[in-house]
Structure 1
Amino acid sequence: MLLFDRSKKTGGFMDEIRCDEPSYLIWKWRPTGAQLGKGNRENAIRWGSSLRVKDGEVAVFVYSRCNETVQEYIEGPCDMILNTKNLPILASLVGLAYEGGTPFQAEVYFINLARIIQVKFGVPFFDIYDPRFTDFGVPVAVRGTVSFSIEDYRAFIKLHRLNNFQLEDFQQQIRDAVSRYVKDTVANAPATHNIPVIQIETKTAQINDMVEYDLAERLKENFGILVSGIDIGAIEIDKNSEGYHQLMAVTKNIATVRIEAETQDYMERLRIHREEEQYAAHKQTQTVNIGAFQVEKQADVGIAGAQALGQMGANGTGNVNWGGSADGFNMAAMMASMTIGSAVGRNIADAMNPMTGSMGQSTPAGVTPPPILPVAYYVAVNSKAIGPFELSVLAQMASSGQLTADSLVWKNGMSQWEKAKAVDELKGLFSVMPPIPEE
């Protein structure tokens, strides 16, 4: 069945329904020679007309049937003669033709699904406020570009009247909607996302991400378009405004106070750290030279005791008065002196013990023997010599893992550094206790 009855004369010429516009979003087709608003000829489609719809386009036929508007969609690519054999979706148009081959009435719109529209937008200067300093409004302007296309053409047509669609008006609607939403996002960015107003120019990328997702959803819902990108080109602060200068002065004072406080805190922590390092180094020195430290302290006690003994005569401690006067033998002072003398003796003996030889050796008269120095080794750590350490300290270091059998050691008399396991005096520090045999 043909779109029109072939047995009847058609009259007129065939039309080619196609869109050759180089750039469009929605374009209305008109027959050749038809003028806008000049009767029904504007929408007349003749029998046998051809339809060509390119890839990325959709042709929309809009006609009335039973006082109801009907829409038919033809997606590209498509190149055919309008008849019911190859275009059954238009079979309902057959009854709309007048007898004698009079063309039927239908509006044809082409929608470009492939074109991406770019709309530049600009938000003139408006005041934004830092939530910490709400008395100072700073003028800010925003400019950028939004890119979109039509993906769901059915949803798009539901939101827009095709017969009076103007791309310029539509772009202005998009521009206004984008500007309102961008302005709202930028104005709330300091409070919502903790962005200082004076730094908002440097946060363009962050604000762009905040805008893009939500704005894409809004434009899809309200305008039926698919947003492919939003590019905020710049956020500009009016740095000549009074509000900007007042906010800069306030924040500069606060920053100065904060920096001073942080500097003082840093210096105090540095002082404590330095004292702790000095104390640790002092304790390390005492540990390394524990023997000399003990001798030094014992000598201090001996000197103090000698000084106390020297005061006994001046205090009358050793005097004995047999003449019957009130001053007699001072027993309490004598006991105190004996106690001090005993302590002095013990400390002197302790100080001299490391310096004396074996009990069987004798010392020539009038000759003071030199002190016997304890055995001490230097240890190589990170290519540096530390020490010297006595055997007791080395034993502790070996037990804690600070000294191993492969550690290099050296003492006076050795020709070169040796591994600790190769030194006879140190071999025992690394011996492992064998397991107890089972009974």
Structure 2
Amino acid sequence: MAIIDIVKYEQQEGTIVHKFPSCDLRWGTQLVVYPSQIAFFAKGGKICDQFTEGTYTLKTNNIPLLNKIINLPFGGDSPFQADVWFVNTLQRLNLKWGTETPILLEDPKYEIIVPVRAYGQYGFRINNAELFISNLVGNMPHFNEQQLQTYFRGLLLMKLTDIIAKKIIYDKISILNIPTHLQAISTFCENELKPHFENYGIKIVLFNIISINIPENDASLNELKKAKNLSARLKITGKENYSLERSFDIMDKAAGNETGAAFINAGLGLGTSLNIGKHLGEQLMANNQIVPPPIPPAVSYFLVVDNKQEGPYTEQEIRTALEANPHICNLLAWKKGMPNWQPLSTFQEFHNANVENYPPPIPE
């Protein structure tokens, strides 16, 4: 095998570590180390001497540790054997990462568990080449970016799941508001990941989260949006006004029901209940030959809600609404025969009406 007179490596795209293909060197050989490279001499699996950028002639004063191991002569051109490794210390900023499966996170604001996907990019550089070779490279003649990504994919995703969840919970960030906090979450993740990479001689110089999102077809996304809308309505209208609004929404739906008005809490059609009562009454009259008095005509009531006239409502609908929300008695009301609007609380049929004065709806 020919004796080597010059040792160098011209950097290739994606390569992090390159082992020089020959270990047969000559005393006086030239070693060329390019910028952003570090060269190591190793013998018997042990790293000896280290060189940064520059051109060196291999002599005793340049490789003192290697000289002690193999007893190099002080002159002449005697050959010797040693492994030479080149490590690239350039920054790499375009490595991609992404979650292969969704991360389950609980929204700290609305307490709904949602699956989220995240992806981004990161950058690194080798800041301790000897530690990097010892812990990751070993005796491999070549080590590139793809191998590094493979090594760290599991560690990266496992740590990110905990780190992202910790940041979201600590800052109480709703999943729906994450896009406005990506920079802060990215910085937090970078600081948390640095110690894990430094154990391998690697320094994280960039970590960006490009997106954290919920799959659009996931049912939990709709639940989260509903919770947000409800929270916004409660904040704008107030809890009491919202409760009042809900009471009348239900009353309006009951009025439009084909079976008649509905009991608010039980969800039973009043018309159905009256129909059952009718059959029961017919049976009793057949047995006892008792003729009841005529049923009084139904009274229609109108209410003022948010300065608008609402109704008509039946007496039973008003009573059911009062059971759900006693504040309704403060609304202005009117029925046939009245000259003016008056508070509902002044109506004799609803006087002192509240939940305690009326039994709950009859179960189905």
Q: TM-score, normalized by length of structure 2?
A: 0.57
Matching residue of 1:14: 4
Return the letter of the residue paired with 1:15.
D
Question: What's 2:185 paired with?
Answer: 207
Structure of larger gyration radius? 1
1:21 match: secondary structure: coil
**Equivalent residue for 2:223, pick from 243, 246, 251:** 246
Residue 160 of structure 1 aligns to a residue in which SS?
helix
- 1:51 lines up with 2:23 in the alignment: no
| Count of matched residue positions in the alignment of Structure 1 and Structure 2 | 236
The alpha carbon displacement at 1:26 in A equals: 0.9
Distance in 1 (alpha carbons) for counterparts of 2:210 and 2:97 = 10
Structure 2 alignment gaps of length 5 or more = 242-364
Q: Which runs of structure 1 show a deviation greater than 6 angstroms over 4 or more consecutive aligned residues?
A: none
> Contact 1:58/1:76 (CA < 8 Å) preserved in 2?
yes
Contact residue 120 and residue 144 of structure 1 kept, 8 A: yes
d(CA) in 1 for partners of 2:156 and 2:192? 11
Q: Does structure 1 residue 108 correspond to structure 2 residue 88?
A: no
SS in 1 for 2:217: coil
Q: Structure 1 residue 93: deviation in Å?
A: 4.8
Shift of 1:85: 5.0
Where 1:208 maps in the other structure, the secondary structure is helix
Deviation at 1:20, TM superposition (A): 1.1
Query: In the alignment, is residue 154 of structure 1 matched against residue 130 of structure 2?
Result: yes
Judge conservation of contact 1:60–1:72 (CA < 8 Å) in 2: yes
Q: For 2:38 and 2:80, locate their aligned partners in 1 and report how far apart those are by CA, in whole Å.
A: 21
Quickly say closer, same or farther: Cα 1:122–1:30, change in 2 above 3 A: same
C-alpha separation in 1, matches of 2:62 and 2:183: 52
* 3-state SS of paired residue (1:211): helix
Alpha-carbon distance in structure 2 between the residues aligned to 1:45 and 1:117: 36
The aligned counterpart of 2:154 is: 176
Q: Does 1:237 align with 2:227?
A: no
SS of the equivalent of 1:163 reads coil
Look up the equivalent residue of 1:199 and give its one-letter code. Answer: N
- TM normalised by structure 1 equals 0.48
- How far, CA to CA, are the matches of 1:93 and 1:184 in structure 2? 47
Does residue 122 of structure 1 match 2:98?
yes
- State the shift of 1:263 in Å: 10
How has the CA–CA distance of structure 1 residues 257 and 115 changed in structure 2, closer, same or farther, with 3 Å as cutoff?
A: closer
1:120–1:175: 8 Å Cα contact kept in structure 2? no
Q: Within the alignment, does 1:27 sit opposite 2:3 as a pair?
A: no
Task: For 2:174 and 2:85, locate their aligned partners in 1 and report how far apart those are by CA, in whole Å.
Answer: 50
Could you list the per-position Cα deviations for residues 147-179 of structure 1 after superposition, in whole angstroms to 9, with x for gaps in the alignment?
Answer: 110112233234223312532222222333222
The structure with the largest strand share of the pair is: 2
Partner of 2:121: 145
> What is the CA–CA distance in structure 2 between the aligned matches of 1:87 and 1:219, rounded to whole Å?
30
Match of 1:216 among 190, 194, 197: 194
